[in-house]
Amino acid sequence: MVRILGALVGLFFSIMLIWAFGVGAYNFVTDPPQKTAEQWVQKNFPMEHVSWSFNGPFGKYDNAQLQRGFQVYSEVCAACHSIHLVAFRDLKDLGYNDAEIKAIAKKRQIPSVDPKTGEAATRDGIPADKFPHVYPNDVAARAANNNAIPPDLSLMAKARHGGADYIHALLTGFREQPAELLKKFPDSKTPEGLHYNPYFANLNLAMAPPLAGEGQVTYGEGQPKPTVDQMSKDVAAFLTWTAEPKMGVRKATGFPVVIFLLFAGVLAYLSYRSIWADKEH
């Protein structure tokens, strides 16, 4: 009884699926799906894989790079992009001391209440504060940015495929739309007010190239030259840190744990073999 009903149900679904397959195959042959502009671009402009200092199981953040990246963020990106999951005190990870962090915090204004009148006001930041939002709300953000909201960057390195590679590719990827693309996909012409970038998922983004040329940010003594590529790498590394401040601790803890478990595994195996030594199985 079960088998009869089961066979009927199975036949029903199988037939529906074969039918759907048939329709789909017919459509595929008579009206094949067109490659989209995005697919063409992704195939012809693969992302560069940078060898970051923090790649791999033994990778670590390079504090000098993170500090340069923070400088790039502060001087270029912070005008529109917040990193409001990061607190000023977190910057201690980058090697800044307490006094430097107090100074960094003090430069930012944090929304607060006037203690005498109760009206909305701002106060100097303290290390315990988080980086403030740039705009009071989404409407203000859109109004100031051509109807686009500059996203918060705290987690950007984890919120996109490719992470730091993506951020670096995006920042160095602004260019003229290739003629071949326009010829194949005339619809993909960059609309007015947007900027072509092959690494952006929708190909045209509202942000103008933020790193326009060399020396936009001045690095300190002994640091590499602030080329667009270098600044992009530095800010990408910094944003990887904002997304994963605990990466260093994570890998450092993981190492002894894995060694311990390898050892424990070997012991467990020897124990198992010794217990089963007299039993054929």
Partner 1 sequence: MSFPWAEHYTPKNPVMKWVDERLPLPRFIYNAVGAGYPVPRNLNYFWNFGVLAGIALTIQLVTGIVLAMHYAANAGIAFESVEHIMRDVNSGWLLRYAHANGASFFFIVVYIHMFRGLYFGSYKAPREMVWLLGIVIFLLMMATAFMGYVLPWGQMSFWGAQVITGLFSAIPLIGETLHTWLLGGFAPGDAALNRFFSLHYLLPFVIAGVIILHIWALHIPGSSNPTGVEVKGPQDTVPFHPYYTAKDGFGVAVFLLIFAIAVFFAPNLMGHPDNYIPANPMATPAHIVPEWYFWPFYAILRAFTVDLSIPFTSIVLIPAKLLGVLAMFASILLLFFLSWLDTSPVRSGTYRPLFKKFFALLIVDVLVLGYCGGAPAEEPYVMISQIAAAYYFAHFLIILPIIATIEKTDPLPGSITEAVLAKAHKNDPAAAAVAAE
Partner 2 sequence: MATEVQGAEAVVSEGEGVRRRDFINIAAVSFAGVGGLAAVVPLVTQMNPSADVLAQATTEVDLSAILPGQSIKAVFRSQPLFVRHLTPAEIAEADKVPMSELRDPQTLEQRTVDGKTQWLVTMGVCTHLGCVPLGAAEGENKGPFGGYFCPCHGSSYDTAARIRKGPAPRNLDVPAYKYTSDTAILVG
| Gap between the Cα atoms of 169 and 191, Å rounded | 22
**Binding flags for partner 2, 97-116, as an x/- string (CB under 8 A):** ------------------x-
| Gap between the Cα atoms of 105 and 27, Å rounded | 61
CB of 57 to partner 1, least distance (A): 5
Residue 127 binds which entry of partner 2, partner 1, none, CB below 5-8 Å type-dependent: partner 2
CB of 59 to partner 2, least distance (A): 23
Pairing relationship of beta strands 109-113 and 204-205 according to DSSP bridges: unpaired
Residue 274 binds to partner 2 (criterion: CB under 8 A): yes
CB of 138 to partner 1, least distance (A): 10
Other CB atoms within 10 A of residue 268 CB: 11
| Gap between the Cα atoms of 218 and 130, Å rounded | 26
CB of 48 to partner 1, least distance (A): 18
Q: Are 157 and 164 in contact (CB under 8 A)?
A: yes
Among 277, 279, 280, 281, binds partner 2 (CB under 8 A): 277
Return the biggest CA–CA distance within the chain. 86
Q: Restricting to residues 118-137, name those near partner 2 by CB under 8 A.
A: 126-128
Q: Restricting to residues 68-87, name those near partner 2 by CB under 8 A.
A: 87
Residue 248 binds to partner 2 (criterion: CB under 8 A): no
**Residues making contact with partner 1 (CB under 8 A):** 2-3, 6-7, 9-11, 13-14, 16-21, 23-25, 28, 33, 57, 85, 90, 151, 154-155, 158-161, 201, 243, 245-246, 249-251, 253-255, 257-258, 261-262, 264-265, 268-269, 271-272, 275-276, 279-281
Helix H or strand E encompassing 180 = helix 179-184
Residues 6 or more apart in contact with residue 112 via CB below 8 angstroms: 121, 122, 123
What phi-psi label fits residue 44: left (phi over 0), alpha (psi between -120 and 50 degrees) or beta? alpha
Among 19, 26, 28, 260, binds partner 2 (CB under 8 A): 260
CB of 179 to partner 1, least distance (A): 27
Residue 245 binds which entry of partner 2, partner 1, none, CB below 5-8 Å type-dependent: partner 1
Q: CB under 8 A: which stretch of 48-56, 148-156, 218-226, 264-272 binds partner 2?
A: 264-272
Burial class (CB in 10 A: 0-12, 13-18, 19+), 14: exposed
Question: What are the phi and psi torsion angles at 120 (to 5°)?
Answer: -65, 135
Q: Are 156 and 147 in contact (CB under 8 A)?
A: no
Binding site for partner 2 (CB under 8 A): 87, 89, 115, 126-128, 260-261, 263-264, 267-268, 270-271, 274-275, 277
